[in-house]
Structure 1
Amino acid sequence: MSEPQAARLPAALLALALAPVAPQAGESPRFYDRQAEGWFWYQRDPLPPSPAEPEPPSTPAPPTPKPAATAASAPPDPAPLSAAWLRANLEHYRLQAIDDPTPTKVALYLYLQKLALDKASRFTETFQQVVQSDPYLDETTRRPVGTYANLLNRVAGEQREAQLRALATDVGIWFFYRADCPYCTAQAPVLARLAQRLGLTVQAIALDGQPLPTGHFPDFRTDAGQAARLGVVSTPALFLVRPPDGLAPLAQGLLSLSDLEQRLLLAAHTAGWIEAADYARTRPLVTDLRLAPASEHFTEIPADPETFLARLRHHAQDRDPDPATPDITPPTAP
């Protein structure tokens, strides 16, 4: 070996040692060989692809079942010339006569129309006969019509006044107010007028400790927790009081004079301070024949109209007697 070749040999070996080694086929490159990855050196090598699963053999879709033939029968047609038939067909014959107004088609429609009107007329006549023969269906049993209603109103008003005067000897009214409440200012003269007429005691209770700007009820008292115990949320608040039996709420809002009188009687009746018969006389009704709920007595509806009607009448006459309603059932013949 010549001297120049011997001098170049160490340099060639050094270059060979520093040169990168190319990876073999199927071998992943080393970390230092993957210089382009930079910061993302920690990512994992991709997993070898899993062998593809064999596709399941395709099964033919089951045939769509044919819908079973239903035996649902159509509703029966209404009887010819019945009310249901006329309601379904009269308009057809009218339009037919309008589109082609021949004498035959117009007369056909007019005859069908007269048939419908005569049916309604016979129903109205029978309706009136049934109503006036049964006091449970006749509204004049409860309240007369026409000018006689004024007589009933006058009698009920006299009874209402008498009951209020009798009630005023045993009860009083608590009147919760605020001096800055305009509705309390409007309610005060109504209460004062009622108290003066009936001799009723009204105790005014100020929630803010101030007198009313109108000067009504100067002997007021300041609220000492009564309003909170009674649940007062708005003024004016009115309570009917009967010591020592208790009290009954009237309203938490503005009331007219007639509404106040009616609520006084209703609250006293509900509390048991007025007999039911006395309260009934204050109402503008001759008698009250309302049917009680019958659902609990009718677990099934009879198909026969005669049986159905008999059961309804029996239910009406055998209802729980109301002491406010006189018994007007006709006596049984001996």
Structure 2
Amino acid sequence: MKRMLVLGMALLLPAGPACAQAVPASAGDRTARGYWWYETPRSDAEAEAQDETVHRPVIPPMVELAKWSPPRIAKLITEQRDYAATVLTIEAVADFWRLQDFARRKARAFAGVTQLAMLTHPELNAKAANPMVGEARDALGAQKDQVRRQYLRAHAGEFALVMFARESCGYCKVQWPIVQRFQDDMGWQVSLMDLDRRPDLKQRFGVEVTPTTMVIRRGSPQRMVIAAGVETYPNLAQMAYQAVRLLSGDIRPEQWLTGAGEEDGFFDALANGPVSSTDPRVIGGDPIDARERRP
């Protein structure tokens, strides 16, 4: 009987080397555990609950916090908010609002220094180029209209305006008188092209919708769409002005939003140097730095 008991124990328990292998090499190594060392894996809910544990953030003294960058401060505020919303203690919530108050004061300080910087460096201030007073804005608008009209009239013999339409297009009947007004004001030749009668023009000029208004350079393949659909007369004149300047090489694509009379000013994207890697000044290896242009 004793021999049978010893034999049974020998069958149930592994030998010395096997027993050493039964010690798990790692928590995720199931093969090293053996049958009798099997553990039920954690459920997804338990794993998520453990991963979502919110720890109390360390808030440094104010003198240290003042040296932090805004992204780092914003991260700390988010962490403190999550912690405070989890524990819901008075002190944790108060710490969150202390951090918010610090961020508010820092933002107000930045706004104050910004005003001083704008007064010290007026070339960075839009007010010099875009006055908010009504009378000044009216005078500025009249000046821009005059610059635009003189430029477009000077190029009237070089460019033409073409509007593509269809007989069934109701919007085309609204846009055509606006295009004709452009002819009267700027002295340009304008043409109306009916795509129902000339369907080949659709593919030739890439017209997808009607009405489509396009600036075409005479004796050249250069052309540019300036309106797709109904456009007001002031916008049509401004787009034609920009298109002619771009096709003539007077501006670069980066200056498309530079209006009449705004060259080398606040609203000129290239006034203080190149902003694009394709700018010839960058490609040529001799970029113009804004600081070098100051007296």
TM-score by length of 2: 0.55
The answer for the alignment partner of 1:196 in structure 2 is: 184
Aligned to 1:219: none
Deviation by residue 1:225-275 (Cα, 9 ceiling, x = unmatched): 333211222222222122212331223422221221122112212212656
CA distance in 1: counterparts of 2:208 and 2:101, whole angstroms = 64
Which residue matches 2:266? 287
8 Å CA contact 2:216, 2:223 repeated in 1 = yes
Equivalent in 64, 79, 82 of residue 60 of structure 2? 79
Question: Whose radius of gyration is greater, 1 or 2?
Answer: 1
Q: Which residue of 1 aligns with 2:24?
A: 63
Mark the runs of 5 or more structure 2 residues left unpaired by the alignment.
1-13, 29-54, 67-72, 278-285
Residue 243, structure 1, aligned to residue 199, structure 2: no
Aligned to 1:257: 233
Contact 2:57 2:80 in 1 (8 A): no
Q: Deviations over 1:40-69 (max 9, x none)?
A: xxxxxxxxxxxxxxxxx99654514379xx
With over 3 angstroms needed to count, the CA separation of the structure-2 counterparts of 1:64 and 1:152, relative to structure 1, is: farther
Q: How far apart, CA to CA, are the structure 2 residues paired with 1:61 and 1:224?
A: 83
| Secondary structure of 1:254's aligned partner | coil
Question: Which residue of structure 2 lines up, in the alignment, with residue 102 of structure 1?
Answer: none
**Deviation at 1:173?**
1.6
SS in 2 for 1:63: coil
Bigger shift: 140-149 or 279-288? Answer: 279-288
* Runs (5+) with no aligned partner, structure 1: 1-56, 68-73, 100-104, 106-110, 210-222, 296-317
The question of whether the paired residues in 2 share the 8 Å contact of 1:177 and 1:206 is answered with yes
Secondary structure of 1:79 counterpart? coil
What SS is found at the alignment partner of 1:131?
helix
Range 143-152 or range 242-251, more displaced: 143-152
The CA deviation string for residues 52-111 of structure 1, in whole angstroms up to 9 with x for no partner, is xxxxx99654514379xxxxxx99945312455996889x8xx849x9xxxxx9xxxxx9
1:125 Cα deviation from its structure 2 partner: 3.2
Q: Going by fraction, where is helix more abundant, 1 or 2?
A: 2
Tell me the equivalent position of 1:49. none
In structure 2, what is the equivalent of residue 14 of structure 1? Answer: none
> Is this contact kept in 1: 2:262–2:268, CA < 8 A?
no
Equivalent pair of 1:240/1:267 in contact (CA under 8 Å): yes
Residue 153 of structure 1 deviates from its aligned partner by 2.4
Match of 1:35 in 2: none
Q: Where do 1:60-209 residues align within 5 Å?
A: 61-65=22-26, 77-81=58-62, 82=65, 84=73, 96=90, 122-135=109-122, 137-147=124-134, 148-209=136-197
Q: Distance in 1 between matches of 2:177 and 2:288?
A: 43
Classify 1:190/1:122 alpha carbon distance in 2 versus 1 (closer, same or farther; 3 Å).
closer
Query: Are the aligned partners of 1:239 and 1:247 in contact in 2 as well (CA < 8 Å)?
Result: no
TM-score by length of 1: 0.50
**Which residue type is aligned with residue 330 of structure 1?**
R
Alpha-carbon deviation of 1:159?
0.9
Deviation at 1:197, TM superposition (A): 2.1
- Paired residues, number: 220
Identify the structure with bigger relative contact order (alpha carbons < 8 Å, sequence gap 6+): 1
Matches for 1:45-60 after TM superposition, within 5 Å: none
